[in-house]
Structure 1
């Protein structure tokens, strides 16, 4: 039989709490409160160690870029509808984050990161990018992180791509993918923030599994703002009006 975990014993390397003392990864909390900035402190708690200038800068840029994209984003819509039921802000944020994590939404950044890492392992990055693009197009799949329903040019991309992280390998790969995608598809598909965030955070030394973690943290602040606005300024219980709902009978579904 598999032994049941002992809930009376825990281990952690994140926070050490003792009488009159709190330390994050060994750093006294009062020192961080006095002199720490948010990006550096988040890096310390999440990943351990003090980030270099480029890594802290990358985290800061990614968090700001992910923070909000207006009411039209599905995650924001979920958060606001949840808040309209007069649910508390944290619950509205949780609902929005579940939508945000989907691969067709904020999870696209992690999807792009996985492809960038695959290309980075190839002998020739330009050829690798072209091969991945062709594979996706042949299957009828999208390349996550390219094209946008609202922006011909995503205004977040230049600021993300200009991060000061010294390693630029994955940002160069992101540009190679953009060129290959436009050439192979014949469409003007430009990089969006998902691909740019993925490339920047990979260049900062994070792994693919950390991408959605970072973007989700950033988006949580924006979702909180929208939930708060909904609670303070809108009437309760947002729902579609009955005259906008089209009922499809089972018979018509079978005919289709």
Structure 2
């Protein structure tokens, strides 16, 4: 008889519900191994998000930069498809949970996926640089491949509503400040700005960085993988 078969039904049930993210049992709540009472009042909400996603607490400045990125993207206005859908659902008399669920259901590659796509794009450029390719050459090669294979809009650049997205320049300014203080490296900001320059040369006009591209810079600087920037 195997060890699994010797376990009681209760033991097997408890084992099935185990997760590295949270431990929950009578009188005990641990998030990634940290007692919840030790986190309450001592760890900020952005730092708690970081902990839940990555299994470790960030530095205070890292948590602050994550909070800045999250705050900048808190609302995209009633013209954004998911927000418009939530508002329309609410007019049908459903509660906020149903309205929010309706909005979340449309987040995907077309709407809500640009941040993930932008960070993946930056990551490809960074990988080429790691192999010894100069920044400008790496950007040129990645754009050539994108325009040949994928077409469409380069993720993270341009905006259908704003000639210049007012959030993006400020986010890059903040990113540069954190880099100057040694909190982050600044590499992803360099990549984003190099892409913007190359796009302007190719298009004959500026295609400015947008909120998705700017927050992707910050998430990249903080070491988040692209999949966690979706939506």
Q: TM-score, normalised by structure 1?
A: 0.75
Aligned to 1:237: none
Structure 1 residues 64 and 155, CA gap change in structure 2 (3 angstroms): same
Matching residue within 117, 121, 141 for 1:131: 141
Distance 2:170 2:19 in 1: 36
Aligned to 1:81: 88
What SS does the aligned partner of 2:41 have? helix
Aligned to 2:206: 188
Aligned to 2:163: 152
27-36 or 59-68, which moves further after superposition? 27-36
What SS does the aligned partner of 1:151 have? coil
Aligned to 2:4: none
Distance 1:206 1:58 in 2: 12
Structure 1 residues 98 and 55, CA gap change in structure 2 (3 angstroms): farther
Q: TM-score, normalised by structure 2?
A: 0.83
5 Å-filtered alignment, 1:235-246, equals none
CA contact (8 A) 2:196 2:206 kept: no
Task: Confirm whether residue 167 of structure 1 aligns to residue 185 of structure 2.
Answer: yes
Task: Confirm whether residue 111 of structure 1 aligns to residue 122 of structure 2.
Answer: no
- CA shift, 1:180, in A, is 0.5
Query: Which blocks of at least 5 consecutive residues in structure 1 are unaligned?
Result: 1-5, 217-256
Query: Which blocks of at least 5 consecutive residues in structure 2 are unaligned?
Result: 1-8
CA contact (8 A) 2:125 2:191 kept: yes
- CA shift, 1:54, in A, is 4.1
Distance 2:97 2:42 in 1: 28
Cα RMSD, aligned residues only: 1.9
Distance 2:51 2:125 in 1: 29
Q: Deviation string for 1:29-88 (max 9, x for gaps)?
A: 122222221111111112211112343123212211221011111110011111211222
Which structure is richer in relative contact order (CA contacts within 8 A, separation 6 or more)?
A: 1
